[in-house]
Structure 1
Amino acid sequence: MNKRKIGSCHEEQAAAFLKKQGLYIVERNFRCRTGEIDIIARDGDYLVFTEVKYRRTGESGWASAAVDWHKRQRISRAAQFYLIRHGYADIPCRFDVVAIDGNRIQWIRNAFDYTE
Structure 2
Amino acid sequence: MNKRISGSFYEDLACDYIVKNKGRILERNFRLRQGEIDIIAQDEGYICFIEVKYRKDNRYGGPLAAVSFAKIRQICKISRFYLSFRNISEDTPIRYDVIAISNEESATTIRWIKNAFDYS
Indicate the TM-score class for this superposition, using the shorter chain for normalisation.
Answer: over 0.9
Identity %: 48
Which runs of at least 4 in structure 1 moved beyond 4 Å after TM superposition?
A: none
Contact 1:26 1:42 in 2 (8 A): yes
Letter in 2 for 1:77: K
Q: Could you report, residue by residue, the CA deviation over 1:41-88 in whole angstroms, capped at 9, with x for unpaired residues?
A: 011321000000000122333001011111100000110110010111
Corresponding position: 1:99 with 2:100: yes
2:116 alignment counterpart: 111
Q: Partners of 1:46 and 1:61 in 2: how far apart?
A: 28
* Number of aligned residues: 115
Instruction: In structure 2, list runs of 5 or more residues that go unmatched.
Output: none
- Secondary structure of the 2:114 match is strand
- Secondary structure of the 1:27 match is strand
Q: Partners of 1:96 and 1:38 in 2: how far apart?
A: 11
Q: Partners of 1:33 and 1:81 in 2: how far apart?
A: 12
Aligned Cα root-mean-square deviation (Å): 0.9
**TM-score of the aligned structures, taking structure 2 as reference length:** 0.92
1:33 alignment counterpart: 33
- Secondary structure of the 1:80 match is helix
Q: Could you report, residue by residue, the CA deviation over 1:18-60 in whole angstroms, capped at 9, with x for unpaired residues?
A: 1000000000000012321000001132100000000012233
Equivalent residue runs for 1:17-56 within 5 Å: 17-56=17-56
Letter in 2 for 1:16: D
